[in-house]
Structure 1
Amino acid sequence: MTIFLENARIIDPAAGEERQGNLVLDGGRIAAIGDMAAPKGARVVDCGGKCLAPGIVDLGVKVGEPGERHKESFRSAALAAAAGGVTTLITRPDTAPAIDSPETLEFVMRRAAEAGPVRIRHMAALTKGREGREMVEIGFLMDAGAVAFSDCDNVVANTKVMSRCLTYARSLGALVIGHPQDPGLSAGAAVTSGKFASLRGLPGVSPMAERMGFDRDMALVEMTGARYHADQITCARTLPALERAKANGFDVSAGVSIHHVTLNEFDVGDYRTFFKLSPPLRPEDDRKAVAEALASGLIDILCSMHTPQDEESKRLPFEEAAAGAVALETFLPAAMRLYHDGTMTLPQLFRAMSLNPAKRLGLDGGRMEEGAPADLVLFDPDAPFVLDRFTMLHSKSKNTPFDGTRMEGKVLATFVGGEQVFAADARKE
């Protein structure tokens, strides 16, 4: 069916601009964009002057299949993504067992294909079992459909093993996604070290652990010439090293989670475990520096780092509780905080949330131009609401740090391949 989206505030991250206009969706792609009339027989959707942007490409989503389906299934994750304006999920391999063989990858690809209604692509582990000892069959996994390779927060501590992985990945053009942390310093840490950690009596880790881990990986990237993406840069001290790596011509990119640019260490408050993340939340100075780096483009990608945990793993003393938070449905409204406080424009945000992750992974998306996939999100950046995690979230797990928080920014409709896969109840056509 041809769909005509009229009276839209079009957010174009590639051009870095906003403009009023209409779109024609046909054959799963954007057929026309501009100031034109509706084609005969098209379904007309009045956007009401609200924002229309490329669908979010979320790099680094945890889904519990296989092994932890009770925390999040492909079906529940896909429904949550559609409700949050996320049209493409890039899932992580930190499952049980890890996605470290073509057979396991083919299993999750079949499960994802059955889930609908959004696009789902998959990373594979970098080492077998994510144990940091033996490299996976990178070539076979790429042939099976893996878009990147990562051991996630199980840092490959053995430098020789990591160098071999990067060398082999370089020969195949594979993207390696690292978690820049020194594993020795980070072991057992629950928060960022400092006065706040001392007052709360919690084990902390210095921000230098991130800098040291990143420096190690950059030395190996310089040695091997591999394609590398740092999944989360959260500290101001790491930013000069990232800038130098890019200036030296390394094929390096970096990301940050939405929680690390909208929350800080004080949000942990009185041991609130929904705010326990990996890496831990940082001081406000770090949060501001990282947000500014995201706005400038030094940090390329903003992601949800969606990590579902059940109530039993969160309702524990802070030090013992599992790390991570769900974020597929709170990603866009949380990102609107950066828009409303003037840190970033909407085109800058969607450059980081849609265009850049699609380009880094070689995917055909994140663009607002004729011929681009009709993966779109219609949203109101100013609509206020108070989040109730039990009644408003589609995710099986409800471990969001934004429960009870007043937020701004509502997804009104989501389109994938020209098909509407989500519509807010209050939206009128």
Structure 2
Amino acid sequence: MSAKIAVSLIGQRRYWPMLVAQSLGAFNDNFFRYALVTIVAFQGVTLFGLNSEMLVPIAASAFTLPIFLFSAIAGRIADKFDRTRIMRFAKFAEIWLMLIAASGFILREPLLLIITLFFMGVQSAFFAPAKNSALPTLLQPHELVAGNAMISGLLNISVLVGIGFGTVLITRESGPVIVGSVLVFVAIIGWISMRQLPPAPSSNPDMKVPINFVWEIVRVLRRAFEHPAVLRPLLGTAWFWMLAASIVTLIPNFARGVLGTDETAVLLFSALFTIGAAVGAILCGALSGKGDALPFSVVGAIGLVVFNVDVALITWNNPPVPAGAELVPGMDFVRDPANRRLLIDLVLAAVSAGLFVVPLQAMAQKRSPAELRGRLLAAGGLLNAFTATLGQFTLAAIAFLALPLQSAFLYIAGISLIVAIVAFVRMLKLRGQSPSPSG
């Protein structure tokens, strides 16, 4: 069973440093971003006169844009150099970025914070392909689903903790100093952890690294389309990141403008989503064993349809909450029995998302040829960044078109329905070809 494999991996040096460093990095990313989102959405911090509906997705895109721009080059570097060395360098760079971020919070300079977000995206662009291509190097093929499930599950927990502390601590009197100190401390611990990981040798050390990163984007995407067995799970994973980005940008304004709740409810809804996604990922890892995990993706996609539609139906007739209205505290919202169905929907949608993405991550890693693994998985990073950016501008598009915020959940459900149908048809075809498909 994959549960036993996961437990055995936790104590091994070829795995746990990457698990810890990835989780701490996820904490810092979300701690930083939600501290920034909170001061924009609830404390009136603005930039160039933009309101929160526009500034929040712009700030989020400052993080994903460099991932799109530099993932292709990063994938080539991950094939040329030792992947562990790349991850160590990325975690060291994170320390300096967090020092700049701390200055931005203390000085209350949103422009400096958004610029820092951009360079955090650059750092992530180089870390992700190295990590994804190192996993099949350091783990056995039958360990990949469990290994990815553990990373995904702990990552979601780290996201939750980061969101919680970022939302709460920045509102305190000494919040900017506390937030800045935590960012730097966590970055240092992440770098120390990554230094414990053994080497993950390159697969193509003689390869040249071009300077033209734009042409490299085209070349990497073209190479991915030449390997459809890898491209299919990459596209599925990209949809997951679009979903996650849509939720991240939607929650603060949905909580305030539709449900009439305060920033503590933002923390609550984010907690429900991240805990649910972690549970879904861990369930997938524990139940899949060594066999085909694609059915979990199909079930997850169906859940994303059902539960997001129900969220929209429950809240569709809610009148808009006027500016300046008294907001309901998050715990009061939870205690109201009338809201239980909505809360259950949010949890089960998140569990479905966790079930959906883990098999696809492992599938892409298994199917990528060793000599191309870094570049093919970097194509996934490009697709993730592109779709996440689209997801982040879901809120801006809804505001521009004057649509109700609830329509975002119908949009998520509609795309999920298409994904569920494609995944189900593909599963049937693979089952017809062999009992343990690889194509």
Shorter-chain TM-score: which interval?
under 0.3
Query: Structure with the greater relative contact order (CA < 8 A, sep ≥ 6): 1 or 2?
Result: 2
The structure with the greater share of residues assigned to strand is 1
- Please give the TM-score of this superposition, normalised by the length of structure 1: 0.23
The structure with the greater share of residues assigned to helix is 2
